[in-house]
A and B are shown apart, each in its own frame.
Chain A
Amino acid sequence: MLIKSVAEIAFFFIILLALVKPFGNFMYKVFNGDKTFLTPLLSIPEKIIYKISGVDTEEDQSWKKYFGGVILINLIGIIFLILVQMFQAILPLNTQNLPNTSFHLALNTAVSFVTNTNWQSYVPEATMSYFTQMLGLTVQNFLSAATGMIVLVALIRGFVRKESKHLGNCWVDLTRCVLYILLPISIVSAVFFISQGVPNNFNQYTDATTIEGAKQFISQGPMASQEAIKMIGTNGGGFLNANSAHPFENPSPLTNFFQMLMMALIPASLTYTFGKMVNNTKQGWAILTAMLIVLISITGVITYSEFAPNTLISHISDIDPNNQFNFEGKETRFGITQSTLFAGLTTSISAGAVNSMHDSYSPLGGMLTMFNIELGEVILGGTGTGLYIMLLFAILTVFIAGLMVGRTPEYLGKKIGPIEMQSVVLGVLAPSIFILVLTAIASIIPQGTSALNNAGAHGFSEILYAYSSAAGNNGSAFAGLSANTVFWNLTLTLAMFGGRFIPIFFVMRLAGSLVEKKYIPTSVGTFPTTGLTFVILLIGVVIIVGGLTFFPALTLSGVAEHFQLLSGKAF
């Protein structure tokens, strides 16, 4: 069992690592405006898009203009998505005659999908029409993924360009990102998913009478097309309530493997793109190494925790004592390891898709999925998002290293001054404030606690997980929480919006400040950011910032529950 489990995890990471360089190189070419193998096919559609969108491709934008573009298209997305949901009853492709959604749900869902969180307060198959899923949610799956990536590219240009004011053109970056990267992979993946059993149609739900005569409605809809971008864009919002645990979204171990690979592909490969852009691929490999060390360690512990028997159950004499793994909320075809590997990836990647129910995980296993999010979604992280926040941590690391030896810190040839440090610290800490303050409020008022599905420490975990997931733009949940209420929808909206756009603002401000600076050549006094020392120091900073911020809260949730379980307490 152990060997099989290790083999499954190792196999996944070997395949992932093999893809990082070729795919990272491809993305480098796309963002650099170079020719790729897709150029002959897509250069004409690209020109058409610029023409009908009125994009001036020659314009090189300041950080304010670039940021303005990013914010505006996101705000327009929120407004459009709210309207689509609130009028879906009169819009086409509503095969089940689903009613319009409430305003607070529409707002929550709109902000959720625009911020790449994909938190879902609703049961999709009973709430959203095909029109809403397709023209509303799928579109944002593309645009939110692209938003993260182009903000990252702007930040890297801030390092690369010298004594300039310009960071590139956000419309060109966005268009190329969608057209050359996200769309082609999505089309290929969607067709692959269909070949493996994922439905894709516009039929009504099938009204089936089962063999024993029960009435069962079988969900239908354009699932495969949404599933593809849901994974590749690290979105994670399911077409169906059970998300990637649903046999329609994820029918087999093969599709499961493929889904995990898809969600990790862009975040992992972007480290290579980054290295290539700063003209030193070792810089990218160092960051990827730090990410993978943390990711594999935490995933290992989650897996171990789920293989351990629940001591409240293991004494029941009728149960086979030989495989008392934690099967509650897991699917047979995946077993433990494909579930925990998925859980480790989806929480650290900020995807938020789930193929098992984290709420039913063991106390420590469940706590670590939450801890992955609380580290700031930097262990791979979302598309672009993960790396730009990780670069803030890298700057923090060289700053601390600089303090230790008494030198002005520099990173990638740029001196780190007060404006940079302000942006870094505020960008890193902003999401934590939303998590802790809102968790505290929800824990003590009835509007918060009445939504819980579990009592005791586990109930507190449901609250903490919800706000961590929202502010970290992850979207997974301890899903017992009944979050479709005014209080929860509004507070989670606040956390998602703040957790997304405050860091984006500071990252863009940082980029604007860096791009104006001179390049300082490396000297003997420069702290090398490619070696093992840097990797270890970076891991330390990430763990300490995440750990110190959330350790008290985690003690009250997973740690407390673990000891309650050991002492035989149930609630």
Chain B
Amino acid sequence: MSGNLITSIRVFTTMTILTGIIYPVSVWAIGQVTFKDNANGSLIRINDKVIGSKLIAQPFSQDKYFQPRPSAVNYGVTPDADYKKGNFVYTSGGSNLGPTNKKLIDGLNANIKALKAKNKTSEKIPLELITASASGIDPDLSLKSALWQVPRIAESRKVSEDKVREVIDKLTERPFLGFNGESRVNVLMMNLELDKLQ
């Protein structure tokens, strides 16, 4: 037994070095050399300041921007007051509200109300635009949800709806092999593109 114990401590130590140090550090080195931008979080900079990551949704409330799906974690935003105190928010996740939860239904109704106040379209609202995503930072919109917002954006920016639709077309990402997953557009990339229009 004691022989077994010593061997197991030695094997454990070796394995920790191999899988806990050598492995992740090698992957890190390969990643930093081959795909530096991805490996550092696909960050987007404007005037050398990081404004976010391509892969992470950020909140948009102005009419001239596409809005992402609702977030149960407020997009991981740290409120200004907390930021000043150094209480930073690091989080992600969904609402975890079950299908019979009143909060789920009340939340949907509140989201509908907010959208209707800002959008004068008579089109019915796609369900994904009022339901919280799983990550709370879903960077994408379905084509339906993006198209639904076009009239508001066009009006606010005083451009034609076709111009806004062109942005969606240009940035649409297709499913893997055409059928695995969904077609989608990245909200942040669309909004950056919209800002280039004017």
Contact = CB atoms under 8 A, between A and B. Distances in A.
Nearest to A186: B23
A339 B56 CA distance: 19
A312 B176 contact: no
A201 B39 contact: yes
A394 interface: no
Interface stretch (A282-290, A516-524, A562-570): A562-570
A312 B27 contact: no
A335 B52 CA distance: 24
Interface of B: 1, 4-16, 18-21, 23-24, 26-28, 30-32, 34-35, 38-43, 49-62, 65, 69, 75-80, 83, 88-102, 104-105, 108-109, 112, 116, 123-128, 130-142, 144-145, 173, 175-177, 179-182, 184, 188, 191-192
A313 B105 contact: yes
Contacts of B99: 310, 312, 326, 328, 360-363, 458, 561, 565
Given A208-B52, A216-B76, A331-B134, A456 B100 contact: yes
Interface residues of A, number: 132
B179 A216 contact: no
Contacts of B184: 332-333
14 contacts: A53-B11, A126-B91, A201-B31, A211-B188, A222-B24, A254-B180, A257-B176, A332-B138, A332-B140, A334-B182, A357-B95, A360-B96, A360-B98, A478-B98
Contacts of A296: none
Contacts of B97: 328-329, 359-360, 453-454, 480
B108 A316 contact: yes
B24 A134 contact: yes
Given A183-B18, A456-B100, A480-B97, A68 B127 contact: no
B93 to A, nearest CB: 5
B56 A218 contact: yes
B43 to A, nearest CB: 6
Interface in A54-78: 54-55, 65, 68-69, 72-73, 76-77
B49 A214 contact: no
Contact of B139 (A139, A224, A247, A257): A247
B175 A208 contact: no
Given A209-B49, A210-B59, A331-B133, A316 B7 contact: no
Contact of A135 (B16, B39, B93, B188): B16
A328 B131 contact: yes
A390 interface: no
A264 to B, nearest CB: 15
Most buried by B among A197, A208, A246, A332: A332
B19 to A, nearest CB: 4
A484 interface: no
A214 B59 contact: yes
B126 A323 contact: yes
Interface in A290-334: 310, 312-313, 316, 318-321, 323-334
